[in-house]
Each structure stands twice: as C-alpha cells, then as structure tokens.
C-alpha cells in the first residue's frame, strides 16, 4: 500500500478517469486543475470500440449506453459527396464493442460526476524536484506552498506543465493544419459518420445524438494564415464552398462565429511516459492527430494500466512497467495517426487520386487502423502481464 499521496495534474479526460480509478483501487491522491471550473474545449467526441471498452472497465458503461449515440458505418466520400469507400462497424474485429459519439460537455459531466469536490481548482505546478523517494512539488498559490508526493502524474494535456518540468525533450510538432469544430442541429436518422476528402482538405460530419451533428473541417495551412481571421464562417465558406453533399448542407446551417472552435493540430514529437517519479498519461505524453480518434481511448488505456500497476507494485516498479507495457501500442497509434495525416494533408490532385484508389480497395483509412487496433485487447493483456510479473 502506498503511504504517500500521488498528485494528478489536470482534470480532463485522463485526469478525471485516473482519479476515479485511484478511488476505486484505494490509492491515495490529490487532483489539481489550472482552470477555475470544469469545462471542455471542442464540440463532439467520437469514441471507437476500445474507448468504450475502457470506459466500461472504469465503471461508465451505463452512462455511455444512456448518453452516447451509436454509429454503425464509416463513409469516405470525395468533395462532391460521391462515396469512395465504406465499412460496417458491426463486423469483427470492429464489433469488439460499440462505436459511439457524444457532446464533449456531456462526456466531461459523466467523467467528473462525484469527483468535483475533490478537485483543487485554479492550481498548477511551479516546480518539481525529484527526491529520494518521491517528488517535492511547489504550487502556484500566493505562498508557493510545497508538498511531497509519492509521484506526480501529468494529465495536463498537449501543453503539459509536468512534461515541460520533468522531461528534457518535450517538443511539440505543428502538423501545419488549421481546424474548425462545431455542432449543429440536424436530423441524424439517415446519417452515418461521413468524411469528405479533397486535396489538402477534409470535412467530417459525425452524428452525436438524435438530431445533433459534430462537424470537423481542416485545411493545410503551414503558415497558419487562417488564424488571421476570426470570421470562421467566412473562412469555412472560402475553404469548403466548393464541397457538395452533407458538407454543403452543414455549411448552410453554420452556427455563429462564437460557436465555431478554431485550432491547430499539434503532436508530442516523441511519445513520453516516465521520468523518475513523474509520469504522463493522455495527451500530455502522446498527443497526436485525431486521424484514428484514439485520444480518449489511449488516455483511458494509459489510466487503467498505470492505476492497476500502482495497485500491484511499488511506485518505482509500477512506473517502469507502465512505460514497458504501453510503449509499443502508443508508438503504433501515434505513428498511424500522424503518418496518414501527413500523407493526405499536403497532396495534389494526382496523389489524391492514388490515395482514393487505395481507399476503394482497402476501405476507409481510419477503419484500416481500427481493424489492427481492435484485433488485440490491451486490458486482457494487462491482466496477464501483471500475473506474469508478480511472480
Ligand atoms: C481536432 C481534434 C479532434 C479530436 N477528436 C477526437 C475524437 O473524436 N475522439 C477522441 O478520442 N479524441 C479526439 N481528439 C483527442 C482528444 O481530444 C484528446 O486526446 C483528449 O482530450 C486528451 O485528454 P487529456 O485529459 O489527456 O487532455 P485534455 O483533455 O487537454 O485535459 C487536460 C486538462 O488539464 C488541465 N491543465 C492544463 N494545463 C494544466 C496545468 N499546468 N496545471 C493543471 N491543470 C492543467 C486542462 O485545463 C484540462 O482540464 C481530438 C483532438 C483534436 C485536436
């Protein structure tokens, strides 16, 4: 049993899930969040089957069943709306669990229920000093208060403070892509997730509720020129005005600018896990492009792995096992998310037609990745790994 508390920095998807696992496993912890209250950026979130499996493991199965929208098919089309490729999500190995989606606010509400009182808001870390059997943390409060913890877990997202303070190589890579996200009301009875691929551009419409659609649009913009305008409606009309199909319909019912969330795609250059008694979970350690929509799944698998290892081993052993167990899968996910993104984002029409041809033969890009991912079950493998290493 660990006597010193473990500090979780960040109350996003990874931090909230980790706090819940620690509570379930009786591992003492504190959780801090730099914002003044819980909030979520972004519009919708798509959760592939391995994310849903991990959520069930943590204890959210019922909430997901009740609040998320199931999708059954993935469609890739060209910018006119002509279908290039489609795949059912109800076939093996994709049917390992449901593919669902919901509004991010709803997802955060589920993750934080019962935890809000435990979170120290308006708090972040100023300094981390590794000691002989823990970590001395200085906080950002008036007194610069200090406390020693058994370990610090950075669950503080792509701009992780823990990564910056405890890891020497904490670089981010800008993928050269400007994005916009929003949700809108639209009947979803006949809508399945649809990705419309054009040279240097992608538009996605993803149903997240009975009458609610999550839209994502990106364009290759290495100089970040799009950030010069805050008129997102005008930018979207300029970039995607030539699109047909569902994109055209979505552009006709765009919400006001304040409800459209702009952003850039950035990745952690090289996945990072452990440095002394500091560890990273979720985007803090391995943010990557959303090509495979593995952000939540990967964060939740990190969280389950780390918490179960901490339950069974000393902190030092658990952290070593965490890196060893997670590296291969996380490296594969980040490479398979950023690789195809880099390939499709800067293509001319001739390369695009080769990619489209390949997609006709092999199926939608993301489904190809999910087939490989869902052929194995890291949660079952974890239990075997712990059994083998506890001897
Ligand atoms: C455009 C886009 C679309 C995406 N779509 C999907 C998708 O459909 N499905 C999917 O699974 N994933 C998707 N992702 C990825 C997903 O959003 C992330 O992987 C996920 O949010 C990571 O969760 P996290 O808890 O690690 O980080 P975050 O959600 O970023 O949470 C970090 C938390 O830490 C807090 N924090 C930050 N700094 C500090 C600090 N110094 N001290 C204390 N607290 C701090 C933040 O306020 C926040 O609450 C997408 C990402 C992008 C960019």
What are the tens digits of pLDDT across the range 331-384? Answer: 999 999 998 888 888 888 888 888 889 899 999 999 999 999 999 999 999 999
Grade residue 282 by pLDDT with cuts at 50, 70 and 90: very high
Which phi-psi region, left, alpha or beta, contains residue 245 (left: φ > 0; alpha: ψ -120 to 50)? Answer: left
Distance CA 43, CA 40 (A): 9
CA distances from 17 to 89, 126, 296, 303 (A): 26, 24, 10, 7
Q: Give pLDDT tens digits for 77-99.
A: 999 999 999 999 999 999 999 99
Ligand 1 proximity of 56 Cβ (cutoff 6 Å)? no
The pLDDT of residue 1 is above 70: no
Question: Three-state SS for 201?
Answer: strand
Grade residue 302 by pLDDT with cuts at 50, 70 and 90: very high
Ligand 1 proximity of 48 Cβ (cutoff 6 Å)? no
* Cα of 287 from ligand 1 centre, angstroms: 8
* Cα of 13 from ligand 1 centre, angstroms: 7
Among 7, 10, 215, 265, which is best to mutate for testing ligand 1, by the most ligand atoms less than 8 A from CB? 10
Q: Which residues contact 165 (CB under 8 A, 6 or more apart)?
A: 125, 127, 128, 278
Backbone torsions φ then ψ of 42, nearest 5 degrees: 90, 170
Give the mean pLDDT of the chain. 95
Nearest residue to 9 (alpha-carbon basis) of 110, 142, 120? 120
Residue 133: its pLDDT value, please? 87
Ligand 1 proximity of 299 Cβ (cutoff 6 Å)? yes
The pLDDT of residue 2 is above 80: no
Q: What are the chain's domains? A: 6-68+101-172+268-343+366-389 (3.50.50.60)
Ligand 1 proximity of 302 Cβ (cutoff 6 Å)? no
* Cα of 90 from ligand 1 centre, angstroms: 28
Grade residue 211 by pLDDT with cuts at 50, 70 and 90: very high
Residue 343: its pLDDT value, please? 83
Average pLDDT, stretch 269-284?
97
Residue 344: its pLDDT value, please? 84
């Amino acid at each position: 049993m660990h006597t010193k508390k473990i500090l979780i920095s960040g109350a996003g998807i990874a931090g909230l899930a980790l706090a819940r696992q620690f509570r379930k496993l009786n591992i003492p912890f504190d959780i801090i969040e730099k914002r003044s209250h819980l909030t979520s950026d972004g519009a919708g979130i798509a959760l592939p089957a391995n994310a849903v499996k991990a959520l069930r493991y943590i204890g959210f199965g019922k909430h997901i069943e009740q609040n998320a929208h199931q999708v059954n098919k993935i469609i890739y089309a060209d910018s006119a709306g002509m279908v290039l490729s489609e795949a059912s999500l109800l076939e093996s190995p994709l049917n390992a669990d449901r593919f669902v989606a919901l509004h991010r606010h709803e997802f955060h509400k589920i993750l934080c229920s019962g935890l809000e009182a435990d979170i120290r808001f308006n708090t972040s870390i100023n300094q981390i000093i590794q000691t002989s059997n823990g970590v001395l943390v200085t906080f950002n409060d008036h007194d610069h208060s200090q406390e020693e913890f058994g370990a610090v877990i950075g669950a503080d997202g792509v701009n992780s403070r823990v990564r910056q303070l405890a890891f020497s190589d904490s670089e981010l890579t800008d993928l050269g892509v400007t994005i916009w996200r929003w949700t809108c009301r639209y009947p979803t009875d006949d809508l399945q997730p649809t990705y419309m691929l054009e040279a240097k551009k992608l538009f996605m419409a993803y149903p997240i509720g009975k009458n609610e659609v999550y839209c994502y649009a990106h364009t290759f913009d290495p100089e970040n020129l799009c950030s010069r305008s805050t008129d997102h409606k005008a930018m979207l009309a300029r970039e995607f005005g030539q699109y047909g199909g569902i994109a055209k319909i979505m552009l006709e019912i765009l919400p006001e600018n304040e409800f459209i969330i702009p952003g850039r795609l950035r990745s952690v250059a090289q996945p990072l896990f452990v440095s002394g008694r500091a560890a990273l979970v979720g985007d803090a350690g391995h943010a990557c492009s959303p090509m495979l929509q593995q952000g939540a799944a990967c964060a939740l698998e990190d969280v389950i792995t780390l918490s179960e290892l901490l339950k069974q081993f000393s902190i030092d052993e658990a952290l070593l096992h965490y890196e060893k167990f997670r590296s291969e899968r996380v490296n594969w996910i980040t490479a398979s998310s950023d690789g195809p993104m880099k390939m499709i984002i800067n293509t001319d029409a001739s390369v695009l037609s080769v990619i489209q041809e390949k997609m006709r033969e092999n199926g939608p890009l993301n489904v190809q990745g999910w087939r490989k991912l869902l052929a194995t079950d890291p949660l079952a493998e974890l239990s075997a790994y712990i059994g083998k290493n506890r001897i």
